[in-house]
Structure 1
């Protein structure tokens, strides 16, 4: 069956999905029905000696959900605290993406920190069928507040902004591996665990499970995609004329990743492994400025671009509701915590 791009969905049928085929008594194909997801149906039906293609979409209703996630000793990271609060894996991951330019979820999270979020869920016939987008979120740590508001800018592209209209997006994200922990810091006087002598450690090691996705820290082009006995499988990305990032000890490269490929920030480029001189699965991540190694944690990034002045008033009008709701949720949590402390 070749009906052009209209039947592209049939080339990517996923496991556990149902494909319904209709045939005549003589065995002639009469039609095919396939639902790529819970919001769409794909139908191919015979019309004499040809086939007609239809794709229909179910009307989903949006339900706004408000949650607050508290980091404590029983749930010391975002994932555990989020699951305890009832968040899906998808929403937890999206929340980590919202603040990935300003917050290291490996180093910056502290006991007592809170995440407040407002997000949309999609329902069909009173049944939740899909996680929607995070509309607003706030992260509070040691008295400092980070706030993000989702806003659709030019070209119908949505991004997250501060209450003043500054984009949270920056040249580089803080951690190229989410939900990991740092096993070795940037240290020019580190004692090497294998060679047992002082060898400069010109990067950061992120320990994570074998196969954990590794993402590009920024937009760029892959200049090296190789493997050797020391670095294992590794990638080198060039970001313009000034910056270079390196990703070592990968278990494998992502599909279509090779020297010469262009990548965008946040794109999966490989997977955590222990190839080369590695004692356990981890990513060794290096950041270079003009060919010189720098600590990825302390490199200064360019200022975020603001919303154009022509759209700033519209942004403030639409964001004011979410800012008020975030404040109310945070205020109720503070009051509840105070009451609990008084009861103790």
Structure 2
């Protein structure tokens, strides 16, 4: 019997070892190691807000440096020396301005309740940093990061509207709308009278927009643009060749957008009285020819020479008030009336360039309000300058033109796509 038990035990041991040898060996899988991502803390003017307490305030009217530094408990000598150092060319800040924002920073670990840093923002682009941790205040001027983004804007001039108003529909701030309007007027200053726009005139503009913290603040430059005035479309492309000798805005054929005469002697205004041979004079109450175009604008608005020339008169008379007359060539003269004053250095015999300031809008002489009466002479006879067909500028150099025409192909295609969309929208919209 003892041998039987021994035999059974032997069989069981064999079975156990056999099953162990047949079982698969399972190896432990290595733990997956995930890539670690280091998230940089977002700093506020260089400060970690987890470590600092910030207080916001605004410079009040009549404040001096003493008021700005009051919370820092610094002596008068430190305030005076800091103010002097602020005038340094690297900082360029002579005084603080009412309404400008500033912030004070105090480390949360500091139990003195006295801030250690101040940030003053004189404009949207820069800020002045004051560090009061040392015996002498450390001053640094920093510039905020600027982002440049390509944008496209389009629109149609509606009834009782103008370019500025239509542009304003695309922006939250007047500054941006005015900046882009000014830039477009600069491109077409020789070919479009923006004081004589018509209902249905259209525009498409591609430009670079500058922004800070996602907020747009200015137009960097117009890259290319199309403007339709009186059913005539005008393309303009900003182009500079590899040598830099060819630079400016050119049309789709390579013609320079510049012309001998600007369409207006003012940059911003509105036409108050167009050229009229049978106008009722507002002062004399008689019908007499009005041989010029009145551009109403605030007193002091700069008046520009519409073309290169030589000052022939800079004087004053009863009807014209203070005025300037320019001789441009054997054919053309221009005259600018009712100025508040003549610009410094403007006198007979002085050469002026197109766009130079020659005087300022006023209401001297026979004028009922501030404006400039712009008169245009051709061969000694006054004419309506807006009806005159001026010659185009010299064309682009032939050796440069092929590269230019190739460069603008995709740009023009992009404009044309948007132009077609604009026309479709204009057709679909019901008339008011």
TM-score by length of 2: 0.62
Instruction: Give, in angstroms, the shift of residue 314 of structure 1.
Output: 1.8
Aligned residue for 2:301?
212
**Equivalent residue of 2:387, what SS?**
coil
Question: For each residue in 1:150-208, what CA deviation from the matched residue of structure 2 results, as whole angstroms up to 9, or x when unmatched?
Answer: 11256456321110001111000112123311414142x54533334454432222233
**Equivalent residue of 2:290, what SS?**
coil
Inter-CA distance 206–142: structure 2 relative to 1 (3 Å threshold):
closer
Provide the rounded CA distance (Å) in 2 between the counterparts of 1:251 and 1:264: 21
Inter-CA distance 212–312: structure 2 relative to 1 (3 Å threshold):
same
The yes-or-no answer on 1:83 pairing with 2:168 is yes
**Equivalent residue of 1:148, what SS?**
strand
Inter-CA distance 37–221: structure 2 relative to 1 (3 Å threshold):
farther
Q: Higher strand proportion, which one?
A: 1
How many residue pairs were aligned? 321
- 323-332 vs 54-63, which moves further: 54-63
The structure number with the bigger radius of gyration is 2
Equivalences for residues 153-164 of structure 1 within 5 A = 155=244, 158-164=247-253
Aligned residue for 1:298?
387
Inter-CA distance 84–58: structure 2 relative to 1 (3 Å threshold):
closer
Provide the rounded CA distance (Å) in 2 between the counterparts of 1:286 and 1:103: 18
Instruction: Give, in angstroms, the shift of residue 141 of structure 1.
Output: 3.8
Inter-CA distance 155–15: structure 2 relative to 1 (3 Å threshold):
farther
Instruction: Give, in angstroms, the shift of residue 237 of structure 1.
Output: 1.6
> Contact (CA 8 Å) 1:105, 1:179: kept in 2 or not?
no
The yes-or-no answer on 1:116 pairing with 2:204 is yes
- Say which structure, 1 or 2, has more relative contact order (CA 8 Å, 6+ apart): 1
Provide the rounded CA distance (Å) in 2 between the counterparts of 1:296 and 1:69: 28
Q: Which runs of 5+ in 2 are unaligned?
A: 1-83, 102-119, 129-139
> Contact (CA 8 Å) 2:324, 2:337: kept in 1 or not?
yes
Aligned residue for 2:271?
181
> Contact (CA 8 Å) 1:106, 1:182: kept in 2 or not?
no
The yes-or-no answer on 1:143 pairing with 2:215 is no
Provide the rounded CA distance (Å) in 2 between the counterparts of 1:190 and 1:258: 32
Provide the rounded CA distance (Å) in 1 between the counterparts of 2:429 and 2:397: 45
Instruction: Give, in angstroms, the shift of residue 339 of structure 1.
Output: 5.0
User: Aligned to 2:337, which of 248, 256, 259?
Assistant: 248
> Contact (CA 8 Å) 1:224, 1:258: kept in 2 or not?
no
Question: For each residue in 1:264-317, what CA deviation from the matched residue of structure 2 results, as whole angstroms up to 9, or x when unmatched?
Answer: 222333222211111222211111233332221223312222111111122112
> Contact (CA 8 Å) 1:100, 1:175: kept in 2 or not?
yes
Question: For each residue in 1:51-80, what CA deviation from the matched residue of structure 2 results, as whole angstroms up to 9, or x when unmatched?
Answer: xxx99987744211101122113x611111
Inter-CA distance 279–39: structure 2 relative to 1 (3 Å threshold):
closer
- 122-131 vs 222-231, which moves further: 122-131
**Equivalent residue of 2:372, what SS?**
strand
Inter-CA distance 55–231: structure 2 relative to 1 (3 Å threshold):
same
User: Aligned to 2:416, which of 317, 321, 327?
Assistant: 327
RMSD over aligned Cα, in angstroms?
3.9
TM-score by length of 1: 0.77
Inter-CA distance 339–201: structure 2 relative to 1 (3 Å threshold):
closer
Q: Which runs of 5+ in 1 are unaligned?
A: 19-33, 43-53
